[in-house]
């Protein structure tokens, strides 16, 4: 085994002794000196995950979060040095991690937090001018297509994921009530904003993002017959979710 393989293997496994061949200045085994590296790795990655998922941390509590993060990073260490997006596997991990399996809403709240991070770092895009949409003859509206901004993320949760997130992130937010929630994450400026969409809104906006004209998006899977189009368009426009319309002709 190479020195690096031995050195790396023990970093993420507290049960393993420090590797051979490492010494203090007097030639004694390195002991605690090796643990400095072990501690740096585990603490820095745990801290990074906590900064990335502050509401998950608040929901499970600091001590539980550190245990959870330790288990997560053993199986899902960062694949590359861009820690800004590391943690995309956390929602799936939370679905199976035994200690939080009774908290069924955690994975979707984690998906929302990850969506906010992705939105924050997404490419910039020119603002959409809604005047063009207003000038469109009503009969042409169903044929209109939209370019959805790179910073848009959509979530359809059977839990009140947004209400739970707000309750833990925003002082004074109301206590969540049990309900499914569709959520739009978008970035009108530099700060991502999460907005509630009407039921079916994530499916509708997802169809638009896939290039479907508005009329076809209304018929997409998951969009109900009584879909509240006005509420959906209001949220999408206020959130700066579009960059430009396609040619509706």
Cα atoms in the 13 Å half-sphere on the side-chain side of 84: 8
Q: Is 64 in the site for other proteins (CB under 8 A)?
A: no
Q: CA-CA distances (angstroms) from residue 130 to 194, 198, 236, 239?
A: 20, 20, 11, 12
For the segment 199-228, give every residue that binds other proteins (CB under 8 A).
none
Query: According to CB under 8 A, which one of 50, 54, 150, 222 is a site residue for other proteins?
Result: 150
Instruction: Give, for 236, the enclosing helix (H) or strand (E).
Output: helix 229-238
| Per-position x/- string for 11-50, each x denoting binding to other proteins as judged by CB under 8 A, each - no binding | xx--------xxxxxx-x-xxxxx-xx--xx--xx--x--
How far is 107 from 90, CA to CA, in rounded Å?
Answer: 8
How far is 154 from 201, CA to CA, in rounded Å?
Answer: 9
Query: According to CB under 8 A, which one of 58, 67, 83, 141 is a site residue for other proteins?
Result: 83
Q: Is 190 in the site for other proteins (CB under 8 A)?
A: yes
Instruction: Give, for 224, the enclosing helix (H) or strand (E).
Output: none
Query: According to CB under 8 A, which one of 16, 121, 140, 158 is a site residue for other proteins?
Result: 121
Residue 13 or 129 with smaller CB distance to other proteins: 13
CB of 9 to other proteins, least distance (A): 8
* Residue position matching structure tokens 């499916």: 203
Angle at 237 between CA 172 and CA 188, to 5 degrees: 65
DSSP-assigned beta bridge partners for residue 194: 185
CB of 57 to other proteins, least distance (A): 17
Q: Is 187 in the site for other proteins (CB under 8 A)?
A: yes
Residues in contact with other proteins by CB under 8 A are 2-5, 7-9, 11-12, 21-26, 28, 30-34, 36-37, 40-41, 44-45, 48, 77-84, 120-124, 150-151, 187, 190-191
């Amino acid at each position: 085994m190479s020195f690096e393989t031995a050195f790396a293997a023990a970093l993420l496994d507290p049960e393993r002794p420090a590797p051979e061949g490492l010494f203090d200045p007097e030639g004694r085994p390195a002991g605690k000196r090796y643990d400095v590296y072990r501690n740096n790795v585990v603490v820095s990655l745990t801290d990074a995950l906590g900064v990335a998922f502050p509401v998950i941390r608040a929901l499970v509590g600091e001590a539980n979060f550190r245990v959870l993060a330790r288990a997560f990073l053993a199986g899902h260490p960062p694949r590359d040095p861009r820690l800004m997006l590391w943690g995309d596997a956390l929602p799936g991990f939370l679905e199976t991690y035994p200690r939080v399996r009774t908290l069924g809403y955690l994975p979707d709240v984690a998906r929302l937090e990850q969506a906010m991070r992705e939105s924050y770092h997404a490419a910039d895009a020119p603002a959409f001018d809604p005047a063009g949409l207003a000038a469109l003859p009503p009969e042409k509206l169903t044929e209109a297509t939209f370019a959805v901004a790179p910073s848009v993320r959509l979530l359809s949760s059977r839990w009140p994921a947004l209400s739970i997130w707000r309750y833990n992130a925003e002082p004074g937010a109301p206590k969540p009530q049990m309900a499914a929630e569709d959520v739009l994450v978008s970035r009108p400026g530099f700060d991502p904003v999460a907005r509630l969409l009407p039921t079916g809104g994530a499916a509708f906006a997802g169809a638009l993002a896939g290039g479907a004209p508005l009329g076809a998006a209304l018929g997409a899977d998951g969009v109900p017959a009584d879909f509240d189009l006005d509420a959906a368009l209001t949220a999408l426009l206020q959130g700066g979710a579009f960059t430009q319309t396609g040619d509706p002709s």
